[in-house]
Amino acid sequence: MRLLPGILSERLTWLFCLVSLLAGGATLILVAVFILREAAPTLFADGGLMALLFTDPWVPLAEPPLLGIGHAWISTLMITAISLGVAVPFGYGIGLFISDVAPTAVRSALQPCLDVLAGIPSVVYGFFGYVTLVPWFENHFAMATGESILAAGLILAVMVLPFIASTSAEAFRAIPGDLREAALAQGVTRWHAVRRVVVAQAAPGMFAAAALGLARAIGETLAVLMLAGNSVALPHSVLDRGQPLTALIATELGEAGVGSPKYHTLFAAAFVLIFVVVCINALVWAWKGRLIYRV
């Protein structure tokens, strides 16, 4: 059953696929160029970059408006550090559990649980943290208000955990069983074999897992918007409020008139985010040859 003569359908299919790829590629380039262009006035103004990142505070209602995002990237840093500090050890542990300790039945119960955890929307996590962690902090830590860097970091840790666990489990499982058995045949304990053989060989994969978690943590918006406190002061401790870069963009976007200095600053903040994510990805790719164990 032919709809079109062979050669014609052949060409059309090829053309369609090429056009799709080009469309996708063009969009990517458009996104990158557009964001860079709109961020340019802020990024390339003289002294602009220093003021943006380090010296200016965020006081948009001042005359002239001061639009420094120092408080924002420091908040991002702190929240990310907390979330990774909790999620990475947990994630590796679960990864090792999946690859070396769990019986098959438990493994097939755990994987869907991780998938569910990964799929819960960000706003639901924010809501969950808002009704559990925030009141808990207020009651038990005598905090003036429970929204804080710590609350956001902890919920973010739960959000990032399944990704780290799954990716590191994959890396651990890629180590062939022969290596493990060779070690065990020598008479060492399972932990010794895991530590000296599996983990040692899977180190690049573990790095990839952590990098994935890092990229996710940096990019989270709604959950941290609802939990970090949305305050423009520079946070000094984890119990302070903060406003990560993503929350800054979400809060101020509605108010920024197209073309205004604040508009360009928001694009600069977006550019910072993209830049960091691309760098993380590039680092992972640079090690890619060694990521998953190959014989």
Q: Which residues, numbered 123-182, are part of the site for other proteins (CB under 8 A)?
A: 123-124, 126-128, 130-132, 138, 144-145, 147, 158, 161, 165
Which of 49, 50, 101, 283 binds other proteins (CB under 8 A)? It is 101
Q: Tokens 């994935």 sit at which residue? A: 212
Beta-carbon count within 10 A of 158 CB: 18
Of 175 and 226, CB closest to other proteins: 226
- Pattern of binders to other proteins over 237-266, x per CB under 8 A? ----x-x--x--xxxxxxx-xx-------x
Residue 80 in contact with other proteins, rule: CB under 8 A: no
Q: What angle do CA 15, 18, 19 make, to 5 degrees?
A: 85
Which of 93, 179, 201, 287 binds other proteins (CB under 8 A)? It is 93
In the complex, the smallest distance separating the C-beta of residue 165 from other proteins, rounded to whole angstroms, is 7
In the complex, the smallest distance separating the C-beta of residue 253 from other proteins, rounded to whole angstroms, is 5
Residue 216 in contact with other proteins, rule: CB under 8 A: yes
Residue 40 in contact with other proteins, rule: CB under 8 A: no
Of 46 and 150, CB closest to other proteins: 150
On whether the CB atoms of residues 36 and 272 are closer than 8 A, the answer is no
Which of 77, 86, 274, 292 binds other proteins (CB under 8 A)? It is 274
In the complex, the smallest distance separating the C-beta of residue 9 from other proteins, rounded to whole angstroms, is 5
Task: Annotate 143-174 with three-state secondary structure.
Answer: CCCCCCHHHHHHHHHHHHHHHHHHHHHHHHHH
Residue 230 in contact with other proteins, rule: CB under 8 A: yes
Beta-carbon count within 10 A of 157 CB: 22
Q: What does the DSSP 8-state code read for residue 234?
A: P
Of 49 and 113, CB closest to other proteins: 113
Which of 45, 49, 50, 62 binds other proteins (CB under 8 A)? It is 62
Which of 100, 133, 164, 172 binds other proteins (CB under 8 A)? It is 100
C-alpha span between 171 and 291 (Å, rounded): 8
Q: Among the candidate windows 4-12, 40-48, 78-86, 201-209, which touches other proteins by CB under 8 A?
A: 4-12
C-alpha span between 259 and 128 (Å, rounded): 37
Residue 108 in contact with other proteins, rule: CB under 8 A: no
On whether the CB atoms of residues 167 and 118 are closer than 8 A, the answer is no
Residue 283 in contact with other proteins, rule: CB under 8 A: no
Please report, as a single letter, which amino acid is at residue 47. Answer: G
In 3D, which of 110, 116, 114, 89 has the Cα closest to residue 98?
A: 110
Phi, then psi, of 236 in degrees rounded to 5: -105, -25
